[in-house]
């Protein structure tokens, strides 16, 4: 495993983490907030199935330079630079929670490089065509973002996580396999980076679902109270080539227990 700082043409730094090895590359997109550091349950499950995991801190997180005004779609160019630096001709993408949209961005923006995408508990683009906030225990951050960056930054100064957003299954997962995710999230909070994430989620992404032409697997918990299952249901209806695994009894974190099986789906797809 290794960590490197990649200098981008616009002068920004991108902190990149690489599990190494000669497995097929899988670019992992982290949630909000996280550092982008490699998570043991991701690396271990991936290595057991022949994948090399590459991750990075989105702008403002984990040593990567902030980039105010970034869109979800701008992740594609950052990942293109990352892939060029690591000589990744082709790779799959996977993201959890806020990482899901950024994985889709790469699938849309790098059709010559991305072979398939997996979104676990990921958001759909903001829409007023349905109750986009419906089912969220606390939607205040995203609603603040809709009012602009300054409002979202002010909100972030006093925001506190509502523990009822997680189900009992989520808390069990965080006490077990997914403890490293909780530890990383707890140490990765940055008001501006989180604001920039939320602003990107609720403003135009810079690409449409129709632009994602590769196979996509959507995995979502029916009891998710942070990103409701309606988001993946919308994506299923609008992505050209998608399938969805609904896990009725999972919440936002416990759905990640499906990661090994999702990696099996990806491995079988690539073997065709």
Comparing CA positions, the residue from 57, 120, 108, 115 lying closest to residue 88 is 115
pLDDT tens by residue, 93-127: 999 999 999 999 999 999 999 999 999 999 999 99
| pLDDT of amino acid 187 | 86
Tell me if residue 104 falls in helix, strand or coil: helix
pTM equals: 0.97
Q: What is the 3-state secondary structure (H, E, C) of 116-139?
A: EEEEECCCCCCCCCCCCCCCCCCC
User: What does the CA dihedral 218, 224, 226, 231 come to, rounded to 10 degrees?
Assistant: 40
Give the mean model confidence (pLDDT) for residues 173-189: 93
CATH number for the domain that contains residue 8: 3.40.50.1820
Phi, psi of 242 (to 5 degrees): -135, 150
Domain count, the chain: 1
User: Which residue range forms the structural domain that includes residue 258?
Assistant: 2-270
Give the mean model confidence (pLDDT) for residues 155-165: 94
- Contact assessment for residue 61 and residue 99, using Cβ atoms and an 8 Å cutoff: no
Tokens of 130: 């349905």
**Is the predicted pLDDT of residue 189 greater than 80, yes or no?**
no
- The strand pairing partners of 158, in sequence order, are none
What confidence tier does 245 reach under pLDDT thresholds 50, 70, 90?
very high
Comparing CA positions, the residue from 112, 110, 120, 107 lying closest to residue 39 is 120
Task: Give the whole-angstrom CA distance, residue 160 versus residue 100.
Answer: 23
DSSP codes of every residue in 129-168: TTTTTTT-S--HHHHHHHT-HHHHHHHHHH----GGGS-H
Strand order in the sheet with 242-247: 2-7, 13-18, 51-56, 24-29, 91-96, 114-120, 216-221, 242-247
Task: Give the whole-angstrom CA distance, residue 14 versus residue 11.
Answer: 10
Angstrom CA distances, 143 to 91, 96, 120, 155, stand at 35, 21, 23, 10
């Amino acid at each position: 495993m290794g960590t490197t700082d990649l200098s981008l043409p616009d002068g920004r730094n991108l902190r990149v983490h690489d599990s190494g090895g000669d497995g097929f590359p899988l670019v992992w997109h982290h949630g909000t907030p996280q550092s982008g550091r490699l998570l043991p349950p991701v690396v271990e499950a991936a290595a057991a199935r022949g994948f090399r995991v590459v991750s990075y801190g989105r702008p403002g997180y984990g040593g990567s330079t902030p980039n105010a005004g970034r869109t979800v779609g701008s992740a594609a160019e950052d990942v293109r630079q990352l892939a060029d630096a690591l000589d990744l001709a082709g790779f799959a993408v996977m993201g959890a929670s806020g990482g899901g949209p950024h994985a889709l961005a790469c699938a849309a923006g790098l059709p010559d490089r991305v072979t398939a995408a997996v979104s676990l508990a990921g958001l759909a683009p903001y829409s007023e065509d349905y109750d986009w906030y419906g089912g969220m225990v606390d939607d205040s951050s995203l609603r603040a973002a809709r009012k602009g960056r300054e409002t979202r930054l002010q909100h972030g100064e006093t925001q506190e996580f509502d523990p009822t957003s997680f189900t009992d299954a989520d808390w069990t997962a965080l006490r077990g396999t997914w403890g490293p995710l909780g530890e990383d999230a707890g140490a990765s909070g940055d008001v501006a980076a989180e604001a920039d994430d939320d602003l990107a989620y609720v403003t135009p992404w810079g690409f449409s679902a129709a632009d994602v032409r590769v196979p996509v697997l959507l995995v979502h918990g029916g009891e998710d109270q942070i990103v409701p299952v309606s988001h993946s249901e919308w994506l299923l209806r609008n992505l050209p080539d998608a399938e969805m695994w609904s896990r009725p009894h999972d919440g936002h974190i416990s759905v990640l227990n499906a990661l090994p099986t999702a990696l099996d789906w990806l491995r079988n797809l690539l073997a065709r």
